[in-house]
Structure 1
Amino acid sequence: MEWKSDEKELKAAGAEPLPDGRCGLFIRGWEIESRKRSILTSLQLQQWEEELHTSHLPEMVFGDNSLVLKHVNTGTKIHFNAFDALVGWKHEALPPVEVPAAAKWKFRSKPLQQVVLDYDYTFTTPYSGSETVESNAEFVRGLSNESSSSLQWENCMDKIDLVALASKEPILFYDEIILYEDELADNGISLLTVKVRVMPSGWFLLLRFWLRVDGVLMRLRDTRLHCLFGEHMKSVILRESCWREATFQALSSKGYPSDCAAYSDPSIISERLPIIMQKAQKLSIEIPCKH
């Protein structure tokens, strides 16, 4: 269901909808826009395969879907899209997950062809978002492109306050965008999504890769970003990445159910999956004072 914003709440927060029918809003110096389109056509898929140097892509690639968060005055842009996520999949190049013989048979595209799984058919990606600094922004004019091409994230011990995020604060904008999805020939799910919500105090998003290879493995890779609006158009962004993973066998040995139907919602079962990687970073954005 499409999100409907409340005009009074937007006005009270100093926010306004984006013009020209675009989906999103402008608030406290940030332009936040989501785009949702249909899946790639066969011709577009072919072009992507050539660019990514692969003959394998997920069943459903929403190549024109995106979420863009842009701090207008500094040109800082954090965005999420399927192509960059699949570049990450190609670069990580994990070995294929071993599946039982019965499941492996179902992965065959041609019945008489021998099964050769020589690539990561789960499309697992280390992707945590894309970022650029647009050089036409006010404060980066006069800088070389090289000096303004990436953001300076710092490792930190800070944590996103999820309890505070659960407080009763008006939601000015919300959307969920699918980037790609594959049902692994009815043997599970591989899904990459990004959700965003904007409140008067800041914005929060969750980029989630969720994998379930039925009877074999579950993998959850979450990246959360929380931006608090500060004084004088200053913003601080916290980014937390957490990767979790477990085999069905390991979960079963701890007394958890081995039935695949018990693992349809990653939010519910995430705590059962042990953490294999976790890190936190911080980014401060502010417009330098003019002398």
Structure 2
Amino acid sequence: MHPVFQSSRRDFTFGPWKLSAAQTHIMKSAQAERLAEELHMPSLPEMMFGDNILRIQHDRGFGIEFNATDALKCVNNCQGMIKVACAEEWQESRSETEHTKEVVKPYDWTYTTDYKGTLLGDTATLKVVPTTEHINTEKLKAREQIMFFEEVLLFEDELHDHGVSSLSVKIADKAYMLREYTSRESKISSLKHVPPSLFTEPNEISQYLPIKETICEKLEFPEKLEPKAEASLETMCVKSK
């Protein structure tokens, strides 16, 4: 039985920026089936929160948001990427669902995604440029008043206890956004020295996983902003498996 989630929405405004976090119930099966067809995927995660959103937006319209549908669009829907002992059994169990009555097509059943957020804006948009600058994680350790904090779950699937994915967003003091994406991966055979209880704890297991890819980008604000727009944000996307 899936857990019951209470719908909630939180907004926080500072200067020209507005942070919004919306959390609600798991997507209904009929909606999930339609979305699976649109994305050409045999199955969606067991718990799909299609209406959950974390958004950071300037009053001129530009910004960034994180949502489950766009995250799934970055999943490989044509090829299975990882093989484990129970993979065939897992896919056979999924083939009995209403929207996958045909033979299950190969796809990344771990729902691995390199999603880094969805950029917002029509007339004014953020400019994405590569950078060597990293998020100052030391600031996250400082003991200071937290003005706004929210953790928004986009989707979750137990994968027979073979995978975990997490996404977090932090705020700091720059006149632009920093977006840092890190992908870590390791074979189970290389983690024999790690307690199994840590395998589903992203913040704990990440220190034992070698980095496969790191992408640092600066999201520059549009030119000719009014002085009040000199606000600051940093975003960090961390994925561990």
TM range (shorter): 0.7 to 0.9
User: What is the Cα-based RMSD across aligned positions, in Å?
Assistant: 2.8
Residue type at the aligned position of 1:264 = T
Match of 1:154 among 112, 129, 132: 129
The 8 Å contact of residues 77 and 134 in structure 1, kept in 2 or not, is answered as: no
Distance in 2, Cα, partners of 1:67 & 1:275: 26
1:80 Cα deviation from its structure 2 partner = 0.5
After superposition, give the CA deviation of every residue in 1:36-75 in whole Å (9 maximum; x if it has no partner). Answer: 01011111112202211222111110000001110113x2
Distance 1:39 1:103 in 2: 25
Partner of 2:65: 79
Pair 1:133–1:103, CA change in 2 (3 A): closer
Counterpart Cα distance in 1 of 2:149 and 2:142: 16
- Higher RCO structure, 1 or 2 (CA under 8 Å, sep 6+): 2
Higher Cα Rg: structure 1 or 2? 1
Cα offset, 1:155, TM superposition = 1.1
Deviation at 1:282, TM superposition (A): 1.1
Give me the TM-score of the superposition, normalised by structure 1: 0.65
Paired residue secondary structure (1:44): helix
1:168: how far off? 2.0
Give the CA deviation at 1:111: 10
Structure-2-length-normalised TM-score? 0.78
Q: Which amino acid aligns with 1:248?
A: I
**Runs of at least 5 residues in structure 2 that lack an aligned partner in the other structure:** 1-7, 227-241
Aligned pairs, number: 214
Q: Secondary structure at the match of 1:38?
A: coil
Percent of residue pairs identical: 31
- Alignment partner, residue 93 of structure 2: 109
Query: Which residue of the other structure, out of 134, 158, 162, is the alignment partner of 1:188?
Result: 162
Task: State the one-letter code of the partner of 1:98.
Answer: K
What is the CA deviation profile of residues 189-232 of structure 1, one whole-angstrom value per residue up to 9, with x for unaligned ones? Answer: 444x4444xxxxxxx1xxxxxxxxxxxxxxxxxxxxx5525xxx
SS in 1 for 2:93: coil
CA contact (8 A) 1:123 1:190 kept: no
Which stretches in structure 1 are left out of the alignment for 5+ residues?
1-20, 141-149, 197-203, 205-225, 230-234
- Of 85, 93, 97, the residue aligned with 2:82 is 97
Counterpart selection for 1:174 from 141, 146, 149: 149
- Residue 207 (structure 2) pairs with residue 271 (structure 1): yes
Distance 1:43-1:105 versus aligned 2 partners, 3 A rule? closer
- 3-state DSSP of counterpart to 1:154: strand
Aligned to 2:184: 244
Distance 1:134 1:106, change over 3 A: closer
CA contact (8 A) 1:154 1:281 kept: yes
Bigger proportion of residues as strand:
1
Corresponding position of 2:121: 133
Distance 1:85 1:34, change over 3 A: same
Post-superposition shift, 1:132?
A: 1.9
Q: Which residue in 2 is equivalent to 1:25?
A: 12
Q: Check whether the contact 1:65–1:81 (CA below 8 A) recurs between aligned residues.
A: yes
Note the C-alpha offset of 1:134. Answer: 3.5
Q: Secondary structure at the match of 2:150?
A: strand
Work out the CA distance in 1 between the residues paired with 2:105 and 2:37. 20
Instruction: Give the Cα separation in 1 of the matches to 2:41 and 2:19.
Output: 32
Amino acid at match of 1:188: H
Q: Is the 8 A contact 1:103 1:187 kept in 2?
A: no
Q: Measured at CA, do residues 187 and 163 of structure 1 come closer, stay the same or move farther in structure 2, by a change above 3 Å?
A: closer
Q: Distance in 1 between matches of 2:210 and 2:145?
A: 34
CA distance in 2, matches of 1:181, 1:32: 23
SS at match of 2:149: strand
Q: Is the 8 A contact 2:27 2:49 kept in 1?
A: yes
Note the C-alpha offset of 1:85. 0.6
Whole-angstrom distance in 1 between the partners of 2:58 and 2:225: 16
Instruction: Flag the 1:195–1:242 CA change in 2: closer, same or farther, 3 A.
Output: closer
SS in 2 for 1:78: strand
Asked if 1:69 corresponds to 2:14, the answer is no
